[in-house]
Amino acid sequence: MNFFFEVLIGGLLSGVMYALVALGFVMIYKASGVFNFAQGAMVYLAALSVVGFIEKGAPLWLAIILAFAVMTAFGIATEKFVLRKLVNQPPIALFMATIGLAFFIEGIAPMVFGSEPRALELGIVDEPIPYILERWNIVISKFDLVAAGVAAVLVATLALFFQYTRIGRALRAVADDHQAALSIGIPLQHIWAIVWGVAGFVALVAGLMWGARNGVQFALTFTALKALPVLILGGFTSVPGAIVGGLIIGASEKLAEIYIPPVMQDWFGGNFGGIEGWFPYVLALLFLLVRPEGLFGEKHIDRV
């Protein structure tokens, strides 16, 4: 039973890491109704900026501030040079623009900051907590707990921001209808620049946690792959949905990886491991059959 709980807790903590990336997608989607294909690349850019500034002699805290400045400037530039011309265009046009943006970032970021994989030390040790290990024989690392704490603070802040601030309300109005929002005086360009800046901040947090865990390298762009099933499950417009979706996906993929392959091997022979790459997608698709808008997604009703 201990083993089951160890897998479950490990999965939940991994899910928090997925949710950190998923939150960035949610931010953009809430503001513009667009799936931001470049979110994984933004995570890479943010982490690469941090290690790039550290290599140029900046201390960690300053490197993080400078990286935030890079991400904010990037957000403003994206609004000005990419999105402004696409106001009132179909969402697919905006989606295509984000694909271009992803390739642009993946090409330019290593040119500026170098492409070598590098370590990022945040001063948090990724080792088992001795007390928990000795008492229950379960591995929980300090790093994972810090990541969970960071995600909790981030979600609370974003939820409050969307719910109770003028910008948050304006942002939701823009998401519903660009033209209607413009007609009542909401400055669309302003709002988009802010939301891309906030998405950049979320990418920075995700980049710091993932970069510290696995090193800063091109593969950070792949973190987006882990966030997609989380979004399908949690809904594209819900901040709490990203967290709950992350927890469900994290826990279920770990349990599946441990318990399903042995059964498959008994039935069919051969080796059936390595299923956690596709299992979350199957789970998310099955979930869509029951609840197409996701767990916390907004039900969309069109008037005829």
Partner 1 sequence: MIKKFKPACVAAAISLTLLSTAASAAEEQFFPLIDYRVGPYGSNGQAFYGGFIDYLNYVNLKEKGVNGVQMTYEECETEYNNAKGVECYERLKSKAAKSAGPIHTMSTGISYALIDKSAQDKLPLAMMGYGRTDAVDGSVFPYAFPLVTTYQMQASAIIKFLKDKNAGSLAGKKIVYLYHDSAYGKEAIIAMEAEASLNKFQLVQIPVAHPGNEQGSQWTRIRQEKPDFVVFWGWGVMNQTALKTAQKNGYPREQMIGSWWTGSEEDVVPAGDAAKGYMAATWNVAGKQVPVIADIEKVVYGAGKGNLQDKAKIGTILYNRGVSAAVLSVEAIRKGQEKYGKGKALTGEQTRWALENLNINEARLKALGATDLLPEIKTSCDNHEGSGKVKIQQWDGARWVPVSGWIEGNKGLIHPLFQASAKQYAKEKGITPRDCTKEK
- Integer CA distances (angstroms), 4 to 83, 138, 258, 259, in order: 47, 10, 9, 10
* Contact status: 121 vs partner 1 (CB under 8 A): yes
The residues pairing with 141 across neighbouring beta strands, listed in sequence order, are 128
Q: Does position 59 bind partner 1 by CB under 8 A?
A: no
State the nearest-atom distance from the C-beta of 234 to partner 1, in Å.
Answer: 18
Assess 246 for contact with partner 1 (CB under 8 A). no
Q: Which of 55, 77, 116, 187 binds partner 1 (CB under 8 A)?
A: 116
- Number of residues this chain uses to bind partner 1 (CB under 8 A): 46
Phi and psi (nearest 5°) for 118? -135, 160
Alpha carbon distance 35, 38 (integer Å)? 9
Using the contact rule CB under 8 A, the part of the chain among 68-76, 109-117, 180-188, 239-247 near partner 1 is 109-117
Q: How far is it between the farthest Cα atoms of the chain?
A: 65
Please give the Cα distance from 243 to 172 (Å, whole number).
Answer: 20
Residue with the two structure tokens 């800063």: 216
278 contributes a contact to partner 1 by CB under 8 A? yes
* Residue in the block written with tokens 């709980």: 5
**Residues numbered 19-58 forming contacts with partner 1, rule: CB under 8 A:** none
Contacts with 89 (C-beta within 8 Å, 6 or more apart), sequence order: none
Supply the DSSP symbol for 293: T
Written as one letter, the residue type at 212 is A
For residue 141, report the phi and psi dihedrals to the nearest 5 degrees: -95, 150
**Pattern 191-220, partner 1, x by CB under 8 A:** -------------------x--xxxxxxx-
d(CA 9, CA 119) in angstroms, rounded, equals 26
Q: How far is the CB of 44 from partner 1 (least distance, A)?
A: 10
Contact status: 105 vs partner 1 (CB under 8 A): no
Distance CA 45, CA 275 (A): 29
Q: Which residue in 182, 275, 281, 295 binds partner 1 (CB under 8 A)?
A: 275
Q: Under the criterion CB under 8 A, does residue 3 sit at the interface with partner 1? A: yes
- Residue 144 CB, nearest distance to partner 1 (Å)? 8
| Closest of 12, 15, 14 to residue 246, by C-alpha | 15
Minimum distance of partner 1 from residue 126's CB (angstroms): 5
User: From the CB of 180, what's the least distance to partner 1, in Å?
Assistant: 41
Asked if 11 interacts with partner 1 (CB under 8 A), we say: yes
Residue among 32, 141, 237, 238 that touches partner 1 (CB under 8 A): 141
If one asks whether residue 177 binds partner 1 (CB under 8 A), the answer comes out as no
Q: How far is CA 278 from the centre of its chain?
A: 18
CB 175 → partner 1: shortest distance, Å?
31
Instruction: Single out the residue of 65, 76, 86, 139 in contact with partner 1 (rule: CB under 8 A).
Output: 139
Q: What's the CA gap between 146 and 213, in Å, rounded?
A: 12
Query: In the complex, which residues of this chain contact partner 1 (CB under 8 A)?
Result: 3, 6-7, 10-11, 13-14, 17, 107, 110, 115-119, 121, 126-128, 133, 139, 141, 143, 210, 213-219, 222-223, 225-226, 253-254, 257-258, 271, 273-278
